[in-house]
Chain A
């Protein structure tokens, strides 16, 4: 049995009484420790599928199970990084990260918060308020918050979509490094092909609405990836072709 199993998932949205399908016959497995990227055009339902795995969307046909248990609601074993950092404006960086921790032990909490602040490279910004952070730093805090509970599954919904190219590369490196160390099962939604090839073990390519799986590509690259290597470029081309040719 695979770690995460999606079985024949279909989802419909209701638009003023008119029903339209967003997800069609989604059926695949994810193994423990894998880094999966969902790639597809905007509106293809890939974020909706991620939100369903998070437990934030529960109205769909079919089943999604994690470790054999069906998902009914959000649980802290599945951490989520959103498109926007979604930091609480009235809490500083430490408080935002500490908010999700439910340990009563103050020392333990402090230790954990500082561990994850260091992990995402935010040391020195513990007491900064969200309004004082750049977009990249705010998203780093968002990632630290999602990681702080040490979830078994990390879900990321286009986390770098709003960042400039350089910041994006830095954050991709951070996520790569964290994954290399933790081997946490991770699912990331993106429309950036290079990002997917740089991070993923498997790339799930979606068709346009209603979103269904067009192709799953195994990346088979080493953990330390060189974006300019021939192998990297070849995989990128394969993904690019899969997206564009039949689109």
Chain B
């Protein structure tokens, strides 16, 4: 029983801030001080959400965006993890690539949009490439930091035992870097979502980013907010999934 109340307490703590913000929002609406174009009432937003669901437009936009994110994210993860391990393992590879990585990393993916349109046109490839760019560097840097920060004391155990290189990499280096790899995967996912919206704002007629931009032109602030919250919720759900996987994988 005591355990249960504690858990309930934690849950209340967890959701309190969001509920408080919703409450303030509702109060403002009751006072009649809200201009619905600037900030529509919460119940209006909810209504819009339900009607967008009913018309299936929300699901359509959502699945298009989700598919784009997954494509770009998986490419970024695979490339980031493999290259991160190689760069982390070999000092020469790090020196060879460091300058380029450090220069490209601070360029926001949005700044790539003009080039991407020129190179790939306004089709899917360009969008996936932007999402890939968004996730790739974050994942790459976390992975190679994890590899390079390996515990020297544990590395000596391999040295003394003259462990073959690949056994050492797969059984010691990579498990040791696993927490950083997961951090990279989680932060990288957020970056990917940021990029999909940016890409869809520019050139698209589907996706949540398009939905938001399109609604803005018609003054449908409620739809804008529905789009924003949808992105936030999907991001949160995906992050929770990665966390759950991490807990299973990193059992020690």
Contacts and interface: CB of A to CB of B under 8 A. Distances in A.
Interface string A102-138: 1000000000000000000000000001110000000
B55 interface: no
Contact of A74 (B159, B171, B250): B159
Given A86-B154, A89-B252, A80 B160 contact: yes
Tell me the interface secondary structure of chain A in the complex: loop
Interface residues of A, number: 25
A149 B154 contact: no
Contacts of B178: 90
Nearest to B151: A86
Given A82-B153, A88-B172, A90-B252, A99 B161 contact: yes
Contacts of B162: 74-76, 102
A78 B159 CA distance: 11
Given A86-B153, A89-B252, A79 B172 contact: no
Contacts of B161: 76, 99-100, 149
A150 interface: no
Given A74-B162, A100-B163, A56 B252 contact: no
Contacts of B91: none
Contacts of A149: 161
Interface in B163-179: 163-164, 167, 171-172, 175, 178
Interface of B: 153-154, 156-157, 159-164, 167, 171-172, 175, 178, 250-252
Given A56-B159, A82-B153, 18 more contacts: A54-B160, A73-B159, A74-B159, A74-B160, A79-B160, A80-B156, A80-B160, A82-B157, A84-B153, A88-B154, A90-B175, A90-B178, A90-B251, A91-B171, A99-B157, A100-B161, A102-B162, A102-B164
